[in-house]
Amino acid sequence: MITKATRLLISALLAPPLLAQQYDLVLTGGRAMDPESNLDAIRNIGITGNRIAAISTSPLLGREVIDAKGLIVAPGFIDLHSHGQTPENYRLKAYDGVTTALELEIGAAPIPAWYASREGKALINFGASAGYVPACMAAMHDTGTLLPRDQAVTRRPTDTESRQIFESVRAGLEQGGLGIGFGLEYVPKVAHKDVFDLFELAAKRGVPCFVHLRHQGLGEPGVVAGLQEVIANSAATGASLHVVHITSAGRGLTAIALKMIEGARSRGIDVSTEFYPYPAAMTSLESAVFDEGWQERMGVSYNDLIWTKTGERLTPETFARYRKVGGMTIIYGIPEPMLRLAMAAPYTIVASDGLIEEGRGHPRGAGTYARILGRYVRQEHALTLMDALRKMTLLPAQRLEKPIPAMSRKGRIRVGADADLVAFDAARVIDRATFTDPALPSEGFAYVVVQGQPVIRGGQLQTGRYPGRAVRGVSPAF
Ligand SMILES: [Zn+2]
């Protein structure tokens, strides 16, 4: 005999929809691609709070549901080289699929103030390394802003200044810096010993050194000498080394630069590198990069330089005039075959080196990621989609996850991972930023989710949302 209580129990058990779990946000029906597990299939993704809570072929219930049918759903992109750390840049990054932008090459000093000014106000996740260049500028009273222009360019730090610089970097690591950023070409007179000492510090702390080489390009000393200094430091101290923008560092010698990095890697040295998909670089005209011999080093002349404020090509006269004023300058001369070579290497990471200021700058600041996906994957088949995604998500996350375990939750579609996700139309995604109009946002990203919150929805930026969180180094006592 069935009692009333039993009947109630049975009917409750037969009513699954009321008992099913509800997620905060569900992306439904997208083609999920995860370079870690090689998942490439239609999945529904459930998000609770700021984490991925379910990846399923069954329908999921969500308080908010995004229809991702026809879209690729991938981990949000991680940009290891992002100088632009302002709301203007964060917006352009979001349109380009970037959910985490880190300033690792130049870095910051002091670290606490840098983080405090962005906390709770950032559209995407952010972070910085402890910066050697800013530490040099402060200790040596250089009058430059982002990059040195006088004291730190023309002379070597005194012994007292060297100690101050070391202490600034050390403090920066204790305060959450993600490694040590070295823009060595911008402080060309610093002693080799000082750089070695800081590699030793990085090794003790287990954090990577992010390096713009002291010598770049052709000529003598060029990129080979630049790499020899830091590969030797890495071998001798055990510090991890990340060499930034290998194609603008190597230019016509990128092939040998890659060969050196591959050789070091095959002998057990922890060296990685990155590239951006453009035929030109950009830096400050007043910096040491344009000291005597720049034409020979970079294999370019005045006509290969563009003054970003106006878009004009430079002449010997305007070069001299603008160098006194100071400002960002585009430098052509990265050969396309060298870029292809860097792109084809399985270990290279995509990083933008981006910086847009009031709409001016280099298009890499707005278009790097969509350009890889649209031009190099879809139009030219230079990379598979999964390989391209790996260079934008898993590889940069893995570069940092040993010292910063929180990074092992990024760059993956996995239950428990951070809900930083992109959903884009692979048939349409493309960069729009150009050298004449560098701040045009990329197209094709229908949804960009940061910490579980859509910041791009239906291709539109969501205003008044600041879900970006700080990525900080951990500080073991040493
Ligand atoms: Zn650089």
Give the number of other CB atoms < 10 A from CB of residue 34. 24
pLDDT of residue 474: 87
pLDDT of residue 51: 98
Ligand 1 centroid to Cα of residue 183, in Å, is: 7
Ligand 1 centroid to Cα of residue 210, in Å, is: 10
Ligand 1 centroid to Cα of residue 243, in Å, is: 9
Ligand 1 centroid to Cα of residue 105, in Å, is: 7
Ligand 1 centroid to Cα of residue 39, in Å, is: 34
Ligand 1 centroid to Cα of residue 244, in Å, is: 6
Ligand 1 centroid to Cα of residue 196, in Å, is: 20
Distances (CA, A) of 318 to 83, 151, 311: 26, 24, 12
Ligand 1 centroid to Cα of residue 269, in Å, is: 22
Ligand 1 centroid to Cα of residue 153, in Å, is: 15
Ligand 1 centroid to Cα of residue 246, in Å, is: 9
Ligand 1 centroid to Cα of residue 348, in Å, is: 16
SS3 per residue for the chain? CCCHHHHHHHHHHCCHHHHCCEEEEEEEEEEEEECCCCEEEEEEEEEECCEEEEEECCCCEEEEEEECCCCEEEECEEECEECCCCHHHHHHHHHCCEEEEEEEEEEECCHHHHHHCCCCCCCCEEEEEEEHHHHHHHHHCCCCCCCCCCHHHHCCCCHHHHHHHHHHHHHHHHCCCCCEEEEHHHCCCCCHHHHHHHHHHHHHHCCCEEEECCCCCCCCCCHHHHHHHHHHHHHHHCCCEEECCHHHHHHHHHHHHHHHHHHHHHCCCCEEEEECCCCEEEEECCCHHHCCCHHHHHCCCHHHEEECCCCEECCHHHHHHHHHHCCEEEEECCCHHHHHHHHHCCCCEECCCECEECCEECCHHHHHHHHHHHHHHHHCCCCCHHHHHHHHCHHHHHHHHCCCHHHHHCCCCCCCCECCEEEECCCCCECCCCCCCCCCCCECEEEEEECCEEEEECCEECCCCCCCCECCCCCCCC
Ligand 1 centroid to Cα of residue 362, in Å, is: 13
Ligand 1 centroid to Cα of residue 212, in Å, is: 5
pLDDT of residue 401: 97
Ligand 1 centroid to Cα of residue 245, in Å, is: 7
Ligand 1 centroid to Cα of residue 209, in Å, is: 13
Ligand 1 centroid to Cα of residue 453, in Å, is: 32
pLDDT of residue 478: 46
**Residue 103's closest CA among 216, 181, 29, 47?**
181
Angle at which helices 159-174 and 132-140 cross, to 10°: 140
Phi (first) and psi of residue 469, to 5 degrees: -120, 155
Ligand 1 centroid to Cα of residue 46, in Å, is: 39
pLDDT mean for each 10 residues of the chain (478 residues): 62 56 97 98 98 98 98 99 98 98 98 98 98 98 95 97 98 97 98 98 97 96 98 98 98 98 98 98 96 94 96 97 97 97 98 98 98 98 98 98 97 98 98 97 98 98 96 75
User: Global pTM?
Assistant: 0.95
Cα separation, 118 vs 469, whole angstroms: 9
Cα separation, 70 vs 143, whole angstroms: 52
Ligand 1 centroid to Cα of residue 391, in Å, is: 19
Ligand 1 centroid to Cα of residue 356, in Å, is: 15
Ligand 1 centroid to Cα of residue 146, in Å, is: 12
pLDDT of residue 19: 57
Ligand 1 centroid to Cα of residue 257, in Å, is: 16
Ligand 1 centroid to Cα of residue 2, in Å, is: 77
Ligand 1 centroid to Cα of residue 32, in Å, is: 34
Ligand 1 centroid to Cα of residue 235, in Å, is: 22
Ligand 1 centroid to Cα of residue 85, in Å, is: 16
Ligand 1 centroid to Cα of residue 29, in Å, is: 40
Ligand 1 centroid to Cα of residue 167, in Å, is: 23
Ligand 1 centroid to Cα of residue 123, in Å, is: 25
Ligand 1 centroid to Cα of residue 353, in Å, is: 7
Ligand 1 centroid to Cα of residue 384, in Å, is: 27
Ligand 1 centroid to Cα of residue 354, in Å, is: 10
